[in-house]
Amino acid sequence: MSANDFLSGGFAAAPESSDHFEIKKSYDLFIDGKWVKAPKQFETINPATDEVISRVGFAGKKEINQAVKGARKAYDSVWSKMPPAERGKYLFRIARLIQERAREFAVVESMDGGKPIRESRDVDVPLAAAHFFYHAGWADKLKYAFPGAEVSSIGVVGQVIPWNFPLLMAAWKIAPALACGNTVVLKPAETTPLTALKLAELIQDAGLPPGVVNIVSGAGDTGQALVRHPDVDKVAFTGSTAVGKAIRRSVAGTGKRFTLELGGKAANIVFEDAPINEAVEGIVNGIFFNQGHVCCAGSRLFVQESIADKVIKKLKKRIESLVIGNPLDKNTDIGAINSGEQLARIKNLVKVGKDEGACIWQPSGGVPRKGNWFKPTLFTQCAQSHRIVQEEVFGPVLAIQTFRTPQEAIAKANNTPYGLSGGVWTDKGSKIFKMTTGLNAGVVWANTFNKFDPSSPFGGYKESGIGREGGLHGLSAYCQLSH
Amino acid sequence: MSNPGIPKTYKLFIGGKFPRTESGRILEVTGPKGEFLANASRASRKDFRNSVVAARKASGSWAGTTAYLKGQILYRIAEVLDGRKDQFVKEMSLLGVSSKSAMEDVVASIDLLVHYAGWSDKYQQLFSSVNPVSSPHFNFSLPEPSGVVGVVAPSDGSLAGLVSAMAPIVVGGNAAVVLLSGNPLSAISFAEVLATSDVPGGVINILTGLRSELVPEFARHMDVNALLLCSDDAEERKNTELEAVENLKRVVLSPDKALTQSPYHICDFQEIKTTWHPVGV
């Protein structure tokens, strides 16, 4: 009997229902407080079933122009002039409305993106509400945030967000922008537009003045038209490093402000004196959270040589017990891969991993026949030069290497163009600080992994991005400072 | 018989040493009437790359140097410069600067150094945070130096321009490679001050040369983490931003004149690192 038998036999299906709210057959673009028909539409698909959920508008240049115009008008006439405390009240109200409709947002998020309902319910949606609540309070306190500097708003912000945390990323982007007095045009990702469009409904319910937030669905061209628009004062982007560099090029010489949150290849470092069981949980959470569709995923594991066999054995046993399947089922640990395109990318890199000589391991169970799935995957015998060690897979694939000394671990961990996050597992305090100081990464988790909070700044070193989001340090990205 | 004196050879300052440019090229420096003053080095791209190697080598231990010691070293630069004020005034006079303006320039430079020396153990307190996360974790964010920073100093050749650009970067724990494109004599004499002020070799490297030749290389270099460009030339700014994309270098654009003193200039060349740890038993 494998460890999985009792699980697959032992848990009755426990799916979340989706009959207590409405998903419309189609969604238009939310521009200047109104729903505007786009000339074209595209389908958004449930990656776990391949079924069409809804159709959404495809914004072109004309619609982007309209949205930026709406945002500019709202900035000039209303939002930049409103007493900051009043701005804050709108944000508080949005936070409350998200909390009220939390279950609906969680279910739609899991349907549209494929992530387990446990994650959308317990992480994405509560954190989205928390981001609005946190930033709401900053609106009338900005003068205390930057010692000795005068603070003012920037203007119209163009924001482009990814498909891995659709609602949460919208909240990360919109909440601080609005709190600091800016207006927003946001483009959700092509494969996951629904929660952002539902957020637009909620923003209408909150009575936010027209044009303060505009939400325009579309594809790459839509995002490009937005970041290149001459009347956009600041660009905020979360996504791949390749697209981030293209955006950086397009804002060069324009004087536009920008923040980029890009890819990562985080090292998760486990020492022989670590609490092993907790570390194994941390490794699993680090790489399999959200199917590994996480820019800060702990996709490189470094285990101290003396405990490598033990850790890998425990890790395999733990992975055998993970439940893969229906994202709406509360037992599910690993949901669907977000899109066919992403699945192909993962499969390709895994093939490269095998071809380059790393040893692959996957658990014994199967995956559903319909939809996009990929089993949690381990690679051992990896070299620093392997592409699965160097490149971001953005899927449930972990590259395992060993080390002997802390210096070796730091040297290997930093041997990457990325620098978003990292993890350290040891019971020795002084070693924690030695390691967290040595890692070139913007977020370092010691004896934990993949934790997020609106008060905690997030962002990368090196090619993982420029700027921070969240916390005190994230505010400066949305403010003009004179000093 | 009058003493003819010994004219100084103006060289580069790389890794704590004073090499000539490997290219063997010169920039002739003349006085206000066109009279010959000196042959300054015209640094090459290779000189720049050598400087980056020296800066990278020095950057780790400089970043790890205690804030107290960094502050003392900056203060030491001010002390040594103060003792050599007259030398700088004399040198600037040869270039046609009035003694009064020259003295003002040197005094402003000394004041900037003293100002930033005092920031060495304060900006971290001002710009860090303990974050009240809603989970049982202790979470804090601290500034860390960006690493190796390129500095294209103001082109007026003033000492205060150079110091105003370099001091906040260096006090923040970065190693700097500075390009002086204007009249470079006082910059190289300033390197002599640095060399006798306990600044570890490689922490500050000074090149004299042409912007058109070297700025693109500053922007392109994959082992330079950030770049300060003091420029009013829109095309130079845009090209520099474009060239800097490949390693997502942090580019800070500033007008082509001395920077005002501000701790935010230190922050421009810092990365914020956030650390989490569970709280429990």
Contact A466 B134 (CB under 8 A): no
- Contact (Cβ atoms closer than 8 angstroms) between residue A337 and residue A47: yes
A246 CB-near residues (< 8 Å, 6+ apart): none
pLDDT for the residue B5 = 78
Q: CA nearest B281 in A: which residue?
A: A427
Cβ atoms within 10 Å of A380's Cβ, excluding its own? 17
- Contact (Cβ atoms closer than 8 angstroms) between residue B170 and residue B200: no
Contact B225 A149 (CB under 8 A): no
| pLDDT at residue A354 greater than cutoff 90 | yes
Report which residue type is found at A79: W
Residue with tokens 């979340």: A16
List the beta bridge partners of residue B13.
B206
CB contacts of A455 in chain B (<8 Å) are 131-133, 139
The Cα–Cα gap between A213 and A185 comes to 6
pLDDT for the residue B1 = 54
Q: How confident is the model at residue A2 (pLDDT cuts 50, 70, 90)?
A: very low
pLDDT for the residue B96 = 93
The Cα–Cα gap between B112 and B160 comes to 8
* pLDDT one-digit tens code per residue, B6-25: 888 899 999 999 999 999 99
The Cα–Cα gap between A248 and A234 comes to 12
| pLDDT at residue B2 greater than cutoff 70 | no
DSSP A52-89: EEEEEEE--HHHHHHHHHHHHHHIIIIITTS-HHHHHH
> SS3 of B223, please?
coil
A303 at interface of B, judged by CB pairs closer than 8 A: no
- Contact (Cβ atoms closer than 8 angstroms) between residue A172 and residue A87: no
pLDDT for the residue A315 = 98
The Cα–Cα gap between A117 and A14 comes to 11
pLDDT for the residue B281 = 74
Task: Find the CB nearest A147 among B126, B134, B271.
Answer: B126
pLDDT for the residue B7 = 84
Of B251, B258, B191, which Cα lies nearest the Cα of B224? B251
Mean pLDDT over the full length of chain B? 96
Query: Residue B264's domain is classified under what CATH number?
Result: 3.40.605.10
| pLDDT at residue A373 greater than cutoff 60 | yes
DSSP A423-439: EEE-S-HHHHHHHHHHS
Task: Find the CB nearest B248 among A252, A466, A473.
Answer: A466
List the beta bridge partners of residue A257.
A234
Q: Which domain holds residue B65?
A: 26-278
**Polymer length of chain A:** 483
Nearest chain A CA: its distance from B265 CA (Å): 10
- Contact (Cβ atoms closer than 8 angstroms) between residue B172 and residue B123: yes
Contact B242 A244 (CB under 8 A): no
- Contact (Cβ atoms closer than 8 angstroms) between residue A207 and residue A215: no
Domain count, chain B: 1
Task: Report yes or no on B261 lying in a domain.
Answer: yes
Least trusted range by pLDDT, from A243-252, B2-11, B217-226: B2-11
Q: From residue B139, how far is each of A434, A437, A448, B136 by CA, in Å? A: 16, 14, 12, 10
First to last CA, chain A: 68
Mean pLDDT over the full length of chain A? 96
Contact A453 B247 (CB under 8 A): no
Q: From residue A151, how far is each of A131, A139, A140, A259, B51 by CA, in Å? A: 21, 11, 11, 18, 38
Of A464, A449, A124, A49, which Cα lies nearest the Cα of A288? A449
| pLDDT at residue A6 greater than cutoff 60 | no
Contact B274 A249 (CB under 8 A): no
The Cα–Cα gap between B81 and A49 comes to 73
The Cα–Cα gap between A287 and A396 comes to 6
The Cα–Cα gap between A103 and A125 comes to 8
pLDDT for the residue B36 = 93
| pLDDT at residue A334 greater than cutoff 60 | yes
| pLDDT at residue A160 greater than cutoff 70 | yes
Domain boundaries, chain A: 26-262+461-482, 267-446
* pLDDT one-digit tens code per residue, B100-135: 999 999 999 999 999 999 999 999 999 999 999 999
Report which residue type is found at B26: I
pLDDT for the residue A423 = 98
Contact residues of B toward A, CB < 8 A: 126, 129, 131-135, 137, 139, 141, 225, 234, 237-238, 241-242, 245-248, 250, 262-264, 271-278
First to last CA, chain B: 85
Tokens representing B15? Answer: 């890794």
Active site residue A261: yes
Contact A443 B273 (CB under 8 A): yes
Fill in the DSSP letter of residue A305: G
Contact B134 A130 (CB under 8 A): yes
User: String of b and e for A83-103 (b: at least 16 CB within 10 Å)?
Assistant: ebeebbbbbbbbbbbbbebbb
The Cα–Cα gap between B254 and B154 comes to 9
**Cα Rg of chain B, angstroms:** 20
pLDDT for the residue A4 = 47
Q: CA nearest A417 in B: which residue?
A: B247
| pLDDT at residue A470 greater than cutoff 90 | yes
| pLDDT at residue B58 greater than cutoff 70 | yes
CATH for A26-262+461-482 (3.90.79.10, 2.70.40.10, 3.40.605.10, 1.10.3720.10): 3.40.605.10
Tell whether the torsion through CA atoms of A288, A289, A292 and A296 is positive or negative: negative
- Contact (Cβ atoms closer than 8 angstroms) between residue A127 and residue A452: yes
Q: How confident is the model at residue A11 (pLDDT cuts 50, 70, 90)?
A: confident
Q: How many Cα atoms occupy the beta-carbon half-sphere of A119 within 13 Å?
A: 30
The Cα–Cα gap between A78 and A205 comes to 18
Walk across the sheet containing A40-45 and list its strands. Answer: A26-27, A52-58, A40-45
The one catalytic residue among A63, A261, A392, A469 = A261
Active site residue A305: no
Of B272, B158, B162, B256, which Cα lies nearest the Cα of A420? B272
The Cα–Cα gap between A115 and A93 comes to 27
A133, A260, A281, A455, best to mutate vs chain B, most B CBs in 10 Å: A455
Mean pLDDT of A404-424: 98
A-B contacts (CB, under 8 Å): 105
A150 at interface of B, judged by CB pairs closer than 8 A: no
* pLDDT one-digit tens code per residue, A71-118: 999 999 999 999 999 999 999 999 999 999 999 999 999 999 999 999
Contact A130 B131 (CB under 8 A): no
Query: Which class is A267-446 in CATH?
Result: alpha beta
* pLDDT one-digit tens code per residue, A183-229: 999 999 999 999 999 999 999 999 999 999 999 999 999 999 999 99
Task: Report yes or no on B16 lying in a domain.
Answer: no
| pLDDT at residue A9 greater than cutoff 60 | no
Contact A456 B133 (CB under 8 A): yes
| Crossing angle (nearest 10°) for helices B211-220 and B45-64 | 50
The one catalytic residue among A16, A109, A180, A295 = A295
CB contacts of B247 in chain A (<8 Å) are 417, 462-463
**Chain CA centroid to CA B187, Å:** 10
Helix or strand (DSSP H, E) at B101? helix B99-119
Helical residues (DSSP H) of B208-269, grouped into ranges: 211-220, 234-243, 263-267
pLDDT, greater one: B2 or A149? A149
The Cα–Cα gap between B50 and B44 comes to 10
pLDDT for the residue A1 = 37
Nearest chain A CA: its distance from B274 CA (Å): 5
CB contacts of A275 in chain B (<8 Å) are none
Tokens representing A378? Answer: 């381990």
Helix or strand (DSSP H, E) at A103? helix A102-113
* pLDDT one-digit tens code per residue, B230-276: 999 999 999 999 999 999 999 999 999 999 999 999 999 999 999 99
Mean pLDDT of B64-92: 97
